[in-house]
Structure 1
Amino acid sequence: MVGGYFPVCIQCRTTSNPCRCKVVGPTVGFLAFAAAAVVEWPVGAVVYLFRHMKGRRIMAHPATVVYPSVTNAIPI
């Protein structure tokens, strides 16, 4: 048996569905955030050496754009 860890995120008190809880959207959003961060954080670190503000924006992109976009796109 192969053991593993699958993250499950739960967001309560939301108004996007009658149950007022979201599971799928935040979980998929976290996975998209992690995938984007693996690519964008090293790139942002290299860019930061030459252009500080541009590097910071690149490294913040997964948290400020990717995660909210994916989470809000899935209402459940």
Structure 2
Amino acid sequence: MVGIGVPIWVQCGDTGNPCRCKVVGPTVGFLAFAAAAVVEWPVGALIYCFRHMKGRKIMAHPATVVYPSVTNAIPI
């Protein structure tokens, strides 16, 4: 029997909770990152053709803002 695995991201060494590991936050953070990247990377690539720095900021937004804010918002 072959099972379909669900990707789970774990962050250990975190001081935000007693067990020092986070599972839910990084997993939901990655899903939010992926959803934002699907929208923002094509838009950023199009804008990059005309305004390089603005396009780079748009394409970096999922990694620099979305993922850390969602991951840190969920302490588990």
Q: TM-score range by the shorter chain?
A: over 0.9
Q: Which residue identity lines up with residue 12 of structure 1 in the other structure?
A: C
Cα distance in 1 between the residues matched to 2:13 and 2:69 = 18
Partner of 1:72: 72
Cα distance in 2 between the residues matched to 1:17 and 1:28 = 17
Structure 1 gap ranges (5+): none
Cα distance in 2 between the residues matched to 1:56 and 1:16 = 32
Structure 2 gap ranges (5+): none
- SS of structure 2 residue aligned to 1:42: helix
Provide the alpha-carbon RMSD of the alignment.
Answer: 1.1
Q: Report 1:1-40 matches (<5 A).
A: 4-40=4-40
Q: Deviations over 1:39-68 (max 9, x none)?
A: 000000000000000000000000000000
TM-score with structure 1 setting the length: 0.93
TM-score with structure 2 setting the length: 0.93
> Following TM superposition, by how much is the alpha carbon of 1:71 offset from its aligned partner in structure 2, in angstroms?
0.2
Cα distance in 1 between the residues matched to 2:6 and 2:13 = 23
Partner of 1:46: 46
Aligned residues: 74
Q: Deviations over 1:6-49 (max 9, x none)?
A: 32100000000000000000000000000000000000000000
